[in-house]
Every structure is written in C-alpha cells, then in structure tokens.
C-alpha cells in the first residue's frame, strides 16, 4: 500500500536528521571499508611470516572475526585533558611533577650495540650520546630473538598493532607477549588511515591492544604513505580534527596521553606549531631533529631505518629517548 505524502515527508526528515547527527567530526567517505592490507613501505627480503593472531586475511569479514581481545570495552571516565606540556616533555623529560619521587626499582639499561647499513655522521649531536635506545617492529621483522635484541641495546620497543579500521598486524600478539617476557618496556602504535573515520580506528585499536598497567603510551603514526591505496590529502585543519578524535578516545581508555609519530613532510604540511600539548616521536634520519623540526620538543627520535642487530634478520628502525638514564627511569615510573 502506498503511504500518504505527509508520513513520507516526516520519514525522510527523520532519516536526514539522523545522518546529520551521526556525521559529527568525521568524513562521509570515512565510512567506506578500507582495502588496506599493510602500511609497510619497505618490503622484506624473505617470506612474510604466517599470521599468528587468528585469521587476519584481508577480507570483508566483520571486525569481530579479526579480534583477539573480544568486544570493545567501555572506556573509563575521561582523564584530565589539560595536563601541562612540562609533564609530557620537560627540559628534563623523565620527571613528572605529579609523581615527585623516583621509582624504587630500576631495571638495567643496555648500552647501544646496534650497527647501521647506511650510517650517518650526526657530528656532535649523534644519537649515540644519548643513553636509552630502542626499536620499533612489525611483521616485516619476522621472528625475533627478544632476549638477544635487548642485549644489543633495545631498552624499549614500539610494536605495530593496527592500521585503518580492520587490519591487525599478524605478528602483534606474539611480539607483544615475547617483548614483555624479555623484560622490554613496550607499547603499541597505530598507522592512521585517512579514508576511515577516526572513531572506528580508535575502536579497532582498543579492541586489539591490551590495557596493561606497565605499557608505554599508545602511538598514532601520521604520515603521507605513497604506497597506500588511500590517496586522499585532506586539509591540515581536518587532519588535526581527525587526530584529535582518535587521541581523545585512546586517552580516555588507556589513561595516558598518546604520542604522535610523524615524518618531516607530514609535519611541515599539518603539524608545525600545532598540538603543543602532546609528546612527539620524530623521524629524522639525516640530521638532528632540532634542524628538521626547529622549535619542536620531542620525546623519541627515530634516527635510522636501516639498523642492524643480532636477534633480528634484516633491517630494523632505531630510536632513542630524549634524556639520560635517570630521566628514563623517572618517565617510565610516571606512566
């Protein structure tokens, strides 16, 4: 039976109202499922390891089928959003004014023993002059001997967890467990995908990354990736808006302010002079960050993408913490 004109008009108005209310700060295009399979720009020399986290084949299966931690938990109450920059990246970056004491037990700091396939002479600003080095890894590092890697100087590790709204790194669960067993300070990072909504990407990260008391703060990796099937370049204001949605949701859930990882071109286009209340992890493989990102305080510096280490086959990213050993222990204790 054909409805009368008035009910049809009312029904259309209700549908339009619901769409407008749900769009919020997100893009309409963001609701299109992502065809992403990986964010890796450098392909491995050997075979890709088999998935270690359930069935992570890139299909259109529901997100729940790719999860290993179950449904998205309800977030905790909102943590304060007005924490001072000094708490995040002070001149002495490891000291948290709200802690006011040092950790009673401090783990061993392993000295830098990494090599580099493409060494750079950083001169007087060499990262080797800083005390606490670490790595970041993903599926492309394959099977890792974590105890050996730690002895080579990996005092911390950031592990690739997710990208977009439906891809889980197939080595994440194993890497997370083994890094913890080896005693490395560890955290997870998410590669942000500009063709998905920020909210669903945050939900996907939360679904797959444990809320662990001693884990390092979560990281949002924002960069332009020429290998990505998403060729979209949105405005700087829109970039920051989407980042904020994602980071607010993670901060509410994990109780730690996320760290922003970025590269020079993306920083220049979108983040220069912005987001001053967030700690930064900066990629700068040819010069000290002070030259590439003038005026920007930083917590971590990724100084090489061609590191070599026992315990890992092939190349690995090398990073360093901005502080001395005492700073590091204090910063870890403040988490």
Q: What CA–CA distances, in Å, run from 222 to 3, 26, 121, 178?
A: 50, 17, 27, 26
In 3D space, the residue among 260, 270, 269 whose CA is nearest the CA of residue 240 turns out to be 270
pLDDT at residue 127, as a whole number:
98
**pLDDT value of position 225:** 80
Torsion angles phi and psi, residue 307, rounded to 5: -70, 155
Alpha-carbon Rg of the chain, whole angstroms? Answer: 21
Pull the structure tokens for residue 228: 């990505």
Which is the catalytic residue, given 26, 223, 274, 313? 223
Q: Is 212 a catalytic residue?
A: no
pLDDT tens column, 38-61: 333 333 444 333 333 333 333 333
What gap in Å lies between CA 238 and CA 194, rounded to an integer? 10
Tokens at 213, concatenated: 């008391």
Q: Are 113 and 158 in contact (CB under 8 A)?
A: no
Residue whose token pair is 């030259």: 291
Task: Report d(CA 52, CA 168) in Å as an integer.
Answer: 10
Do 162 and 205 form a contact (C-beta atoms < 8 A)?
yes
Mind listing the pLDDT tens digit for each residue in 140-169? Answer: 999 999 999 999 999 999 999 999 999 999
* Domains within the chain, CATH numbers bracketed: 131-335 (3.20.20.80)
Residues of the chain with pLDDT under 70: 1-105
């Amino acid at each position: 039976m054909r409805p009368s004109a008035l009910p049809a008009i009312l029904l259309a108005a209700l549908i339009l109202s619901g769409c407008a209310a749900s769009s919020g700060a997100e893009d309409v295009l963001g609701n299109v499922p992502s065809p992403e399979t990986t964010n890796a720009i450098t392909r491995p020399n050997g075979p890709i390891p088999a998935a270690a986290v359930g069935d992570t084949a890139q299909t259109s299966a529901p997100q729940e089928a790719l999860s290993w931690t179950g449904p998205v938990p309800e977030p905790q109450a909102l943590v304060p959003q007005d924490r001072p920059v000094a708490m995040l990246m002070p001149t002495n970056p490891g000291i948290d004014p709200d802690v006011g004491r040092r950790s009673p037990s401090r783990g061993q700091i392993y000295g830098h023993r990494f090599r580099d396939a493409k060494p750079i002479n950083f001169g007087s600003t060499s990262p080797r002059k800083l005390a606490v080095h670490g790595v970041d890894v993903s599926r492309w590092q394959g099977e890792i001997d974590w105890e050996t890697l730690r002895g080579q100087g990996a005092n911390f590790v950031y592990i690739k967890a997710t990208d977009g709204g439906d891809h889980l790194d197939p080595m994440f669960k194993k890497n997370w467990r083994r890094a913890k067993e080896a005693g490395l300070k560890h955290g997870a990072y998410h590669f942000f995908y500009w063709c998905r909504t920020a909210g669903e990407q945050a939900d996907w990260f939360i679904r797959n990354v444990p809320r662990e008391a001693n884990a390092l703060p979560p990281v949002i990796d924002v960069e332009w990736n020429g290998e990505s099937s998403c060729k979209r370049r949105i405005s700087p204001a829109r970039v920051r808006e989407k980042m904020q949605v994602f980071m607010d949701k993670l901060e509410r859930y994990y109780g730690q302010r996320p760290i922003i990882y970025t590269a020079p071109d993306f920083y220049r286009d979108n983040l220069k002079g912005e987001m001053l209340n967030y700690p930064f992890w900066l990629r700068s493989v040819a010069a000290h960050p002070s030259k590439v990102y003038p005026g920007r305080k930083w917590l971590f510096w990724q100084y090489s993408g061609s590191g070599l280490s026992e315990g890992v086959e092939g190349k690995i990213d090398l990073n360093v913490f901005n502080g001395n050993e005492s700073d590091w222990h204090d910063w870890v204790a403040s988490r």
